[in-house]
Structure 1
Amino acid sequence: MVDFNDIVAIAREAGDLAMRQWQAGKNAENTWEKSPGQIVSEADIAVDRFLRERLEVQLPEAGWLSEETAEDKSLSGRDMAWVVDPIDGTKDFVKGKPGWCISVALVKNGAPIFGVLNAPAMNEIWTAKAGSHTEVNGKALKASQCTNYNGARLPVEELPDHIDLTPVTKPNSIALRLAMVADDRADLVVSTRWGSEWDIAAAHVIAEEAGAMVTDAHGKKLRYNGTHGQAFGVLCTSEGIHDAAVARVAKFLSENKGQN
């Protein structure tokens, strides 16, 4: 098995690589749309290439599932795989905002066993080993203990008046939003759209080891490194409000059927 400290060191190096371009302030000049509304930067590609080169040396038998090499499915479905987002939160990255990170997970038999989020612009590095520990900058994490859905803290830019939740700062990176629940900075993160495994795999183990509940939008168990690389949404909450959140999401989906 690989040394977890080596994975963390590689994620740190990847963060240094991304930071050099972010600090140069020319991110928007080196960006294009890979599909409508989906942007990618030269830094995404460079970090992806760096991570694949370094991580495959660590564990040659593992598969590879990454946002920027998603078309390569030859190794998906293996018992072990790297699930990587070279820059999660590219929109913040290209705008010069700090809400982005490098996300690296090692998945075994469908579940993330190692996770690292390196958010160098925020000077934060989050790490977790399943069944062992989870921390940010060396501080042990304890997830939100919220027990009342009404008033729960949600990372969001704005909320309609009829929604009884409390808005808190929202980084563009969904991985960092899940990490906020792990560190009791938020109580609830929800997405009701089809999303990609690489966005959440590392944050999943970080949040779960801290005591948060992490499922798909229907409240079902998430499994990683299938052949499609997608899951229907994500729901990350304190243990005390997860059932209520699942019910609220189900009601929302029923009322908005066909609109998502």
Structure 2
Amino acid sequence: MPAHDDLALLIEAAQAAGEIARRYFRQGPRIWDKPGAGPVTEADIAVNDMLAERLRGARPGYGWLSEETPDTPERLDAARAFVIDPLDGTRAFIEGDHNWAHSLAVVDNGEAVAAVVYLPMADKLYAAAKGHGATLNGARITVATGDTLDGATVLVTRSNLEPWFWRGAEVPRVNRQFRSSLAYRMSLVAEGRFDAMLTLRPTWEWDVAAGALIVTEAGGRVTDRQGAQPRFNAPMPQVDGVIAAGPGLQEEIASRLA
């Protein structure tokens, strides 16, 4: 299946997800805690159920990995798989903040080949297909060109700037910013609005698979904290942290980490 066909499917599905999520936003949805995983709302589940029906119905041979679906080993036998976060930034959603997103990717033999990150409340749709560039609402986007970490504007939590994470305990002097959704942070880097994003904790694939392709197709580079390119639809669907930036800045960040 051509990546463009999968991308068209993801775009339609993401927009339908936005219609569902908007109905729950700031309407007091039911909220509960998943053990060890933080809060989930009835909006997360409603979106997940729709995406599972629509996407799996359209591509019955694809594997399925979603934050809100119990994982099963059958996906590992599929060359292509959906990697989905039905609602990335659930805490922002609960708090009434607009910075939550739907993150949808198709992965082929470990590599994302089609991806959408959609922010319904801002009507911002980031999209990419392998080899065809990245767009925001249909307009091409590119990463920022800076390659110096000190002074860069970086989407990162304060905890990732503790001295023990950095070589020689030399913490970079950055303009620190934050957004709740990891997928949105990566998309903002792809858009060139921020120089880099960084997270040093083990990170679930569904949070970053779509963003990884969008950044890469925008001319950037995405690696784990060791500088290795992440592979998706793995048996344990986590990556060892994420660095996303232009190629030169990504290389500097990786070299300065302890």
TM-score (norm 2): 0.90
Partner of 2:11: 8
Work out the CA distance in 1 between the residues paired with 2:70 and 2:227. 26
Kept after mapping to 2: 8 A contact 1:65/1:73: no
More deviation, 215-224/239-248: 239-248
Is 1:192 the counterpart of 2:195? The answer is: no
Work out the CA distance in 1 between the residues paired with 2:201 and 2:155. 17
Counterpart residue identity of residue 116, structure 1? V
Is 1:100 the counterpart of 2:100? The answer is: yes
Work out the CA distance in 1 between the residues paired with 2:9 and 2:202. 32
Work out the CA distance in 2 between the residues paired with 1:229 and 1:157. 22
| SS at 1:214 equivalent | strand
Counterpart residue identity of residue 10, structure 1? A
Instruction: In structure 1, list runs of 5 or more residues that go unmatched.
Output: 252-260
Work out the CA distance in 2 between the residues paired with 1:160 and 1:203. 25
Relative distance call for 1:137 and 1:156 in structure 2 (3 A) is same
Following TM superposition, by how much is the alpha carbon of 1:242 offset from its aligned partner in structure 2, in angstroms?
Answer: 1.5
Kept after mapping to 2: 8 A contact 1:77/1:225: no
Partner of 1:18: 21
Following TM superposition, by how much is the alpha carbon of 1:132 offset from its aligned partner in structure 2, in angstroms?
Answer: 0.8
Provide the identity percentage: 33
Kept after mapping to 2: 8 A contact 1:78/1:225: no
Following TM superposition, by how much is the alpha carbon of 1:139 offset from its aligned partner in structure 2, in angstroms?
Answer: 1.3
Work out the CA distance in 2 between the residues paired with 1:60 and 1:18. 25
User: What do residues 141-165 of structure 1 show as CA deviations (whole Å, max 9, x unaligned)?
Assistant: 1111112111111124667896400
Instruction: In structure 2, list runs of 5 or more residues that go unmatched.
Output: 164-170
Is 1:231 the counterpart of 2:246? The answer is: no
Partner of 1:255: none
Partner of 1:221: 229
| SS at 1:68 equivalent | coil
Following TM superposition, by how much is the alpha carbon of 1:210 offset from its aligned partner in structure 2, in angstroms?
Answer: 0.2
Is 1:167 the counterpart of 2:155? The answer is: no
Partner of 1:143: 143
Kept after mapping to 1: 8 A contact 2:156/2:197: no
Kept after mapping to 2: 8 A contact 1:107/1:114: yes
- Aligned positions, number: 246
Kept after mapping to 1: 8 A contact 2:157/2:199: no
User: What do residues 171-221 of structure 1 show as CA deviations (whole Å, max 9, x unaligned)?
Assistant: 200010011110111111111111110100111111100011101111101
Work out the CA distance in 1 between the residues paired with 2:65 and 2:123. 26
Kept after mapping to 2: 8 A contact 1:82/1:106: yes
Relative distance call for 1:117 and 1:192 in structure 2 (3 A) is same
Partner of 1:53: 53
Relative distance call for 1:70 and 1:232 in structure 2 (3 A) is farther
Counterpart residue identity of residue 227, structure 2? G
Partner of 2:82: 82
Among candidates 248, 251, 255, match of residue 240 of structure 1: 248
Alignment of 1:92-131 (within 5 A): 92-131=92-131
Counterpart residue identity of residue 232, structure 2? Y
Instruction: Tell me how large the CA RMSD over aligned residues is.
Output: 1.8
Partner of 2:166: none
Work out the CA distance in 2 between the residues paired with 1:70 and 1:215. 27
Following TM superposition, by how much is the alpha carbon of 1:70 offset from its aligned partner in structure 2, in angstroms?
Answer: 3.8
Work out the CA distance in 2 between the residues paired with 1:154 and 1:22. 28
TM-score (norm 1): 0.89
